[in-house]
Structure 1
Amino acid sequence: MDRPGDVVELLKGQHERIRELFDEVLAHTGEERRHCFRLLVHLLAVHETAEEEIVHPYAERHLEGGEPLVADRLKEEEEAKRTLKHLEGLDPDAAEFVEEFCALRAAVLTHAETEERQEFARLEQAGDAETLRLLGKAVRAAEALAPTRPHPGTESAVKNAVLGPPAAVADRTRDAVRSVFRAARPDGKV
């Protein structure tokens, strides 16, 4: 079904890209793996922040049984952030990285499938086309300002509103500095 701007279609599309990036990380080694992992971390960070700021609060308020549904997703998201933060400190070619990354992959893919089946399907049923379009616009706006790194403990709209902007500035500054250094170094390492 073609619903341009629809929040559910937007998030499902991001879930598909997340699946692809998980596969790309495992398909590569060295700097290529590191690069794919950075892309994955960035997408997961902005995606989850937008869900926590926009989608989950809407679901809590407007879906029957929304609060426990969202509470379960938030627990999964916090665990994923903790694991991502730990993985960032590991050598991507190390056995420990690969083992933990594969466990994270399984958890995140299960999380995404559950979200699509339980939360997103119910959003589609409960929301009219205009509401879903407006939620899509709000998600895009939240993603434009979201941190680009995992920040465990910020799994609520309030915490993201308070802690998110300074974290986003710090993350995006760090990304820009790393990009400059990578471009300046022949081996691409920072």
Structure 2
Amino acid sequence: MRTFQIVVSPDVVDVLRHEHEQIRQLCLDVQGAGRDGKKYPLAALRQAVHRHQLGEVAVAHPAVRNLGPDGDAVALDLQVKGDQLDRSLAELDRLGVGLADFEVRFAAVCDGLLDHAADQERAEFPLLRRYVPAQRRHMMASAMQNVRIMALG
């Protein structure tokens, strides 16, 4: 007897949560690398954060607006903080790993990234799960991928 397995693609919350894990790991990679080995994981972190922010701004945050009593405030707060972190990380990357206070600055940015991810998981993800139908959340994951592809081109 043949059995068929239905493969369900991840929804937007699954994708963003997975990206949070990648960002956490990249922060650890940068922190664990020696001074000469920080450049490439820092560039990978910067790219991951920028890509993540593109998807949030284009797809996730707009969907949360008008959801529940706090949707607008949640979306705006996350977008502002995410943009600030994206810019801070880009500036730190531009200044380079040889910067005298790189470790202190990086720790602050990394803490901000982790706090931002926790805030999104606590405030935005439940709104998406509660108010947005599963089929739309799956379509949002595809839309987020399309936005990122267009940004690269």
Tell me whether the two structures share a fold, i.e. TM-score over 0.5: yes
1:139 to 138, 144, 152: 144
The equivalent residue for 1:14 is 19
Match of 2:51 among 46, 55, 63: 46
- Specify the alignment match of 2:30 in structure 1: 25
Q: Are residue 66 (structure 1) and residue 71 (structure 2) matched?
A: yes
Report % sequence identity: 24
Q: TM-score, normalised by structure 1?
A: 0.72
Deviation per residue, 1:18-58 (Å, 9 max, x gap): 00000000111244310000100001101101110111011
Where in structure 2 are there 5+ consecutive unaligned residues? 1-6
| 1:84 to partner: Cα distance | 1.4
**CA displacement 1:122-178 (0-9 Å, x = unmatched):** 2111122101111111111112223xxxxxxxxxxxxxxxxxxxxx55xxxxxxxxx
For 1:49 and 1:64, the matched residues in 2 are separated by: 25
Structure 2 equivalent of residue 55 of structure 1: 60
The question of 1:98 aligning with 2:70 is answered: no
- 1:62 Cα offset (Å): 3.5
Aligned runs of 1:116-135 on 2, under 5 Å? 116-135=121-140
The CA RMSD measured in Å over matched residues stands at 1.8
Amino acid corresponding to residue 19 of structure 1 in structure 2: R
Measured after TM superposition, the shift of residue 116 of structure 1 is 0.6
Paired amino acid for 2:85: A
Which residue does 2:89 correspond to in 1? 84
How far apart in 1 are the matches of 2:8 and 2:85? 30
Partner of 1:5: helix, strand, or coil?
Answer: coil
User: With structure 2 as the length reference, what TM-score do the two structures score?
Assistant: 0.88
What residue in structure 2 maps to residue 156 of structure 1? none
Name the residue aligned to 1:114. 119
Report the more deviating stretch, 62-71 or 127-136: 62-71
Between the aligned partners of 1:21 and 1:90, the Cα distance in structure 2 is 19
Task: Assess, with a 3 A threshold, how the Cα gap between structure 1 residues 98 and 61 changes in structure 2: closer, same or farther.
Answer: same
The alpha carbon displacement at 1:112 in A equals 0.4
- For 1:114 and 1:26, how far apart are their aligned partners in 2? 22
Runs ≥4 residues deviating over 3 A: 61-64
Identify unmatched segments of 5+ residues in structure 1. 147-167, 170-190
